[in-house]
A = this chain, B = another copy of it.
Amino acid sequence: MIRTFRKAFMLSTFLVAAIAAPVLAGGPDPNGVATAEANPSAPLNFAWTLIAGFLVFFMQAGFAMVEVGFSRKKNAVAVLTKNYMDALIGGLAFWAFGFAFMFGGSALASGLEQGNSLIGFSGFLLAGNAYDVTTMELWFFQMVFAATAATIVSGAVAERTKVTAYLAYSFLISAIVYPIYGHWVWGGGWLATLPFGAGARDFAGSGVVHAVGGFVALAGAAMVGPRLGKFKPDGTPNAIPGHNLTFAALGTFILFFGWFGFNPGSTLAATDLRISVIAVNTFLAGAAASVAGVYYSLLKNGLIDLPLTLNAGLAGLVGITAGCAYVPSWAAVIIGIVAALVMIWALGFVERTLKVDDVVGAVSVHGFGGLWGLLAVGIFADGTYGGVSGLIVGETGQIIAQLIDIVTVVAWSLGMGFLVFWVLKKTMGIRASRTEEIKGLDITEHGIEAYPSAEQAEVA
């Protein structure tokens, strides 16, 4: 019955699009001639924002490779399917609903007139006045960010979550959970307008994207429960190695590459030359965090732990995401190093204290790394950009706004995360059966192996 309901729901969404939208068609500038005339900088800024958005889209390949590499061979198809589909379902959900909830009322472009400080409500389906080149440009860039938040969760809940439940989750996070909090920070909502410092500031989304993804992931991984065999009877964890570190390393390179769209692209304008500083800070934080990971593992047990080093690098990138535009380069190095250490601490906290099984470390990298990123703005912003000044230049207001943001993002993401996964658990069920999990989800949910043996593949 639930399945029927879900299908009816999906179907009705598309029917609404097909029938209502043409009636509403016709934004102010669907082909861009007027916009280009009115604003000679528009072409360059469109090109910059779209290309950056393409790079962010490509991060989906990075997430897929990292997550498949850190998972076992018997669940590779399941991981790939979830990673491929969450971005696409998330994007469609963001088209139908999420974008309107997030940017309605922001007045950032045509068709986004209606909303309040809690939620927006115009721009659905990019129809009507939203059929405009500027609105489309904004949508594209924001959509790839929504899709990034969605995909963070898949790694945490990998290897034991039902694929149908995961697809439903993808729709809900991108339609509701991500956009509403996003509205508060980027859509002109209450966090952006806090009366401390410059209001909560999160330049490219340490909080909006990464902490939301990371704490929804924590809720999801807790609700779905640990993999069979992850914890010993006495509660101590077993390490369950993945199956292919080359894929994991490739994925990390792709993510690092895509981050250069994520952070510098978030100016939405190449006429804002701060893009060079942002690119430099992004690199330095990721690099310094990776070095911290290398030397941490080398000091601890004399070996360099590659998975930890890759995750350290990603944590550094998450950590600099909020502050990339606001801090000087030496601070980026420190932010990266601290992000690595925070992530390493969080790995133990999640696994040993909370007893939550997070297959790839997504909660630690994106969740806790994201919180550190928000905090770092309040410390290291040097006042040279965007009117954001932190402790290092003697301002104390900004860090208050950042702390409020931190509490909010944790509460919202955990709360909504538990709610979403609870609803899914009660309706569709979220956990694969014991038999399915032991056999692997590839055979049981997809009817195929990722790497068929030569024997299977021989027919002649």
Contacts and interface: CB of A to CB of B under 8 A. Distances in A.
A291 interface: yes
A205 interface: no
Contact of A286 (B21, B88, B298, B328): B88
Contact of A54 (B47, B167, B261, B334): B261
A245 interface: yes
> Which one of A61, A72, A167, A229 has the highest number of Cβ atoms from chain B below 10 Å of its Cβ?
A61
Contacts of A438: 460
Interface stretch (A188-196, A268-276, A398-406, A418-426): A268-276
B73 A457 contact: yes
29 contacts: A10-B291, A14-B337, A17-B330, A22-B328, A25-B328, A30-B277, A31-B277, A41-B43, A42-B273, A47-B275, A53-B260, A58-B254, A73-B457, A81-B306, A88-B286, A88-B290, A89-B291, A92-B333, A131-B329, A134-B273, A136-B279, A137-B273, A241-B448, A241-B456, A242-B452, A243-B454, A303-B446, A303-B447, A306-B448
A18 interface: yes
Contacts of A42: 273
Contacts of A273: 29, 31-33, 35-36, 42-43, 46, 133-134, 137
A114 interface: no
Nearest to A65: B250
Nearest first, the 3 closest Cβ-Cβ pairs linking A and B are: A32-B273, A229-B460, A61-B253
A113 interface: no
B303 A136 contact: no
Given A53-B279, A54-B261, A57-B257, 6 more contacts: A31-B385, A44-B47, A77-B245, A80-B306, A126-B329, A303-B447
A45 B67 CA distance: 36
B270 A46 contact: yes
Contact of A88 (B51, B61, B287): B287
A121 interface: no
A189 to B, nearest CB: 24
Interface stretch (A177-185, A307-315, A367-375, A409-417): A307-315
B243 A283 contact: no
A228 B458 CA distance: 10
A454 B72 contact: yes
Contacts of A270: 43-44, 46-47
Interface in A234-292: 238, 240-247, 249-250, 252-254, 256-257, 260-261, 264, 269-277, 279-280, 283-284, 286-288, 290-291
- Give the size range of A's interface with the partner: 35 or more
Nearest to A444: B303
A202 interface: no
Contacts of A101: none
Contacts of A451: 243-246
Given A271-B36, A330-B18, A454-B73, A253 B446 contact: no
A350 interface: no
A122 B112 CA distance: 49
A257 B62 CA distance: 12
B60 A304 contact: no
A365 interface: no
Interface string A387-399: 0000010000000
Which of A241, A272, A276, A295 has the most C-beta atoms of chain B within 10 angstroms of its own C-beta? A276
A363 to B, nearest CB: 20
A253 B58 contact: yes
A131 B276 CA distance: 11
Interface string A113-145: 000000000000111000101101101100100
A301 B447 contact: yes
Nearest to A95: B284
